[in-house]
Structure 1
């Protein structure tokens, strides 16, 4: 969809004494737009700026343009708490989500404040001046520098420029078209073509039914199965509530209904993994029939929610398999041939198009090079504080979502915490906030998840601890207690300040508790 282009104020080079802004938001996607709106509503005196490396807002939902791209969560939780989702489909397509983000930004005046085409390269913290010196690359190749008191990273946790691309023997001999979903060629015509999609995650589960409508046949080639569950594309209760209640109240009730149900099923899977696994496989068997080899193609060798469960709106993948327009092959690749893929079983899959849906490449802190008082900062050696700050990294927040629920649920809570913290610091004249690592907290993996993209990134991601406030909860209620109502001055967060500097110069009505 067309992006409303707005001329942004030029960024200038200067001496680093007076900060250009109180807070710099990095990224104009779902998290960034949400963060800006929370600041408008709850911390209106904060001077914030937003930079976006790309020419358009939307983040993931503008970047991904492969056939059928959609949410893997319901929009009543993936959407913002402050903006009701009113469209019929709860499992929404990518263009609908992009319109939702765009309208949120336009209606609130955020779009006019986004500075597009500015990629953050590095950020250097000065303790003596209580500010970040940020270096940006502009689309014309120029380098610019800005200063800010706080950095708010809303750039996600995967690379926009590189996907996970395993090397397959013989790949260079393939005479057809090789495609990566993250960089989908819009001119690609797959009508009447034989397509093989390598992968079994959410992207593959989306691509296969979408392409099957036009392709001659689509095969999902997987090394191992994934849990896949049919879910109604429309939420019947939400639609009923929208008929009889104000939009905001209907959205709020539906959101909480889905939060509670999601938490219940996750806890059930953790407590009774074998029973839940058996139930999920039974549901799949009901979709595909007793003649289909469900045990081979849809029975994973891990417990439910050790990896994310794929949601299929109205069972679209199952429908295409039943109709014969799509098929599933569980095997390993020996090599790529000029006309397709040779498998370990001896079978050869003929293909005109091969789509490599083999996963994301994760990064940490948006691939920004951080330093603190001249010393390089390595996020892989840091411990996460409440899942939204890192140990010994002053005045930096990061929007990180859940692995077992909608991303925005945690992003909304994080934004609320940021607003609380800014008010607390202003009230007390603080200019620096940094969580100091507890030497008694034992390090654990940041994500308790066995997915390949998480395991591949273990060496670059920070860790979590075995106790509060270093635990990274995958639980909305636990995070609500931790981020919305817990004490800010908790003995772990270290506050320092200068009486004349920063936010403390301005007064603001204080209606929220610390």
Structure 2
């Protein structure tokens, strides 16, 4: 049994954990830190998921870190390329030397007496227990259970004589050449799997309970490639990021303000892609755009395989599995050799860790989140939670910057502890993902922390607002207690509108 102390302990070596580590290296160079990672490799999502065609669902020029340009013209990158980008970033900033692999965190308790976190981790290979202490703990575990994905209990599933394969646990040796495949779902995973598997399978059917809003997106950005030829790498990157952030925000805001107009626009684009060869009822959701996440279709590949007949789409409910496939409530039967339930994630906070404060468990559903970074009432801790309506990493960057500002201010003032305290009865009923109406969020309502109704307790999902709040607003705002005392920092005057806007778009 070993014990070690660090200034900052990061849980998880995925996109978020590596990002936080890089920001600490850049902005808090005197701080010691370690990253505890349960798996044997970094990358998180991009190491776990290995299904055919796995790729980003966000454009890489905003998904990339703000301090390290994503180069080339790929807009939607494959999983291996994304993992390489994260690994190369970790190596470039020396963060890879701080990662400790194969360690599953079993407990994390804040001690008010010792003013530190006491963390117990188990080496899953050897069973050896390691103890860590840290002044500050940062959860970078994402928001889903890595051990299992969500899969409904389908009636008659045991009768099916073929293979049932969940995308989260894809067998390396799965051969679907010449097979009949049914993919259950209509989200990003299904939209990726269907056209990729159709290249080898005899036929692929996408079975959806209800349609999803889809938007074709080219895989290569020719404008960016042109910019990269005439401008320095970082300048081209910042210009592309600014453009893509603006477009993403515009699409989201117009969807919220004018849902009927955006619905007409999205359906018109899909109708043009299908050339009248596929029934539009399969692409006409009964909800408004961005009530659930919008799925992108790389180079329109899904529409192409549907038009070619290599794949088909069925909108119906499952009555039961049979020996040879799936019987639908309409009476139709879908033959299958392989069934893939692309039915979503099992939401889980902090990788299943149940943190405690002085031995009392922190019940997340009873807590609200401060600036979408800190948990109310939990000292010296942060939780990195990216965006759901634009690239996850945009939030990772500015949240990490905020944490570095906070740590540096505490050093400057000589503070040892900080805790967010809600004294204004700000708690609301919406979860921190309340803007989306997806099934996986509804299923996890009893596990997710809440957001407040106003002020820094309300989750805006607005990148431009968050840049102002996290990068420019005073840290000592009256909502934080330092060493048990509430402080108000000296107001240094408004930053105005242009500086936060320029910072949000260009990262400077």
For residue 23 of structure 2, the aligned residue among 10, 18, 38 is 38
Whether the aligned pair in 2 keeps the contact of 1:365 and 1:379 (CA below 8 Å) is no
Whole-Å separation in 1 of the counterparts to 2:309 and 2:174: 23
Whole-Å separation in 2 of the counterparts to 1:474 and 1:132: 30
Residue 190 of structure 2 corresponds to residue 200 of structure 1? no
Aligned to 1:315: 300
Whole-Å separation in 1 of the counterparts to 2:98 and 2:118: 20
Q: Give SS of 1:210's match.
A: helix
Mean CA deviation greater in 358-367 or 176-185: 358-367
Q: Give SS of 1:185's match.
A: coil
Aligned to 1:20: 5
1:328 positional shift? 0.6
Q: Give SS of 2:385's match.
A: coil
Aligned to 1:508: none
Aligned to 2:248: 262
1:109 positional shift? 1.7
Whether the aligned pair in 1 keeps the contact of 2:187 and 2:295 (CA below 8 Å) is yes
Residue 236 of structure 2 corresponds to residue 250 of structure 1? yes
Whether the aligned pair in 2 keeps the contact of 1:49 and 1:113 (CA below 8 Å) is yes
Residue 262 of structure 2 corresponds to residue 272 of structure 1? no
Q: Give SS of 2:312's match.
A: strand
Aligned to 1:111: 96
Aligned to 1:451: 438
1:290 positional shift? 2.5
For residue 155 of structure 2, the aligned residue among 158, 164, 169 is 169
TM-score by length of 2: 0.93
Aligned to 1:217: 203
Aligned to 1:466: 453
Whole-Å separation in 2 of the counterparts to 1:319 and 1:236: 21
Going from structure 1 to structure 2, the CA distance change for 1:497 and 1:12 (only over 3 Å counts) comes to: farther
Q: Give SS of 1:469's match.
A: helix
1:439 positional shift? 4.2
Whole-Å separation in 1 of the counterparts to 2:50 and 2:63: 19
Aligned to 2:47: 62
Whether the aligned pair in 1 keeps the contact of 2:11 and 2:37 (CA below 8 Å) is yes
Q: Give SS of 2:272's match.
A: helix
Query: Matches of residues 64-83 of structure 1 in structure 2 within 5 Å?
Result: 64-83=49-68
1:438 positional shift? 3.3
Q: Give SS of 2:105's match.
A: strand
Unaligned runs of 5+ in 1: 1-10, 14-18, 499-514
Residue 393 of structure 2 corresponds to residue 403 of structure 1? no
Whole-Å separation in 1 of the counterparts to 2:386 and 2:43: 16
1:210 positional shift? 0.6
Unaligned runs of 5+ in 2: 486-508
Whole-Å separation in 2 of the counterparts to 1:449 and 1:369: 25
Aligned to 1:507: none
Whole-Å separation in 1 of the counterparts to 2:330 and 2:57: 32
Mean CA deviation greater in 104-113 or 312-321: 104-113
Aligned to 2:492: none
Residue 167 of structure 2 corresponds to residue 181 of structure 1? yes
Q: Give SS of 1:20's match.
A: strand
RMSD: 1.2
1:112 positional shift? 2.0
TM-score by length of 1: 0.92
Whether the aligned pair in 2 keeps the contact of 1:159 and 1:362 (CA below 8 Å) is yes
1:143 positional shift? 1.9
Whether the aligned pair in 2 keeps the contact of 1:431 and 1:497 (CA below 8 Å) is no
For residue 290 of structure 2, the aligned residue among 302, 305, 308 is 305
Mean CA deviation greater in 137-146 or 219-228: 137-146
